[in-house]
Structure 1
């Protein structure tokens, strides 16, 4: 009987630990606005402070907007980079000097100034479910 109670206690503790671990993961919802056309898709990357992609998402454009949802995001600091693939070729088209021909955006709506936006300015903290809006440049 003692062994059964011990096993039940350990099993219950295991489920509680798993439930607690799952509850620390959050959802980051990214609402993308100001898309220039209603065609194509938006490709987004959720990145850690080392600029490593931890998740990628794609969403179809609907009425000049898109929504991407990153699930099971552990608490921490992240940035989002995205682009609007207007012609559906699955890449960011660029012109002379690498200047984007298609719309793009980053978290905190950081603007570019003589080059790409500063990554540190894109960072935001996730410690609960979060919703952010990114305006397309």
Structure 2
């Protein structure tokens, strides 16, 4: 069994982004996106609960554009699988925020050196959501 497919933290959105990236490894993403018809883009976006423009932007960002969000949740003792299961739309919106984040360098440094929990509120677009989640025992990792 493929563990990536069974990983509860891999959302439909991240799988779609992964599909785009894998299919376009040897091509320019913009060219590949342009080759899809509007109906296909709209259908995929609808299935993911996002706009077609967001889908195109996320595909260009790549399959790992929101990996920091999952790492940040773990650094804050938040269970990403529980959040995704109970708050699917909020989880997706947080992934989109993370994918578009301009503070990835600072985030990655803090995650790597163990300072993320102390510093994330200064730069993370998801800080309010993350603080609310870690204040709720229902979303804390076991």
Question: Smaller-chain TM-score range?
Answer: under 0.3
**Higher percent of residues as helix:** 2
Q: Which has the higher contact order (CA 8 A, sep 6+)?
A: 1
**Higher percent of residues as strand:** 1
Higher Rg of the two aligned structures = 1
Structure 1-normalised TM-score? 0.24
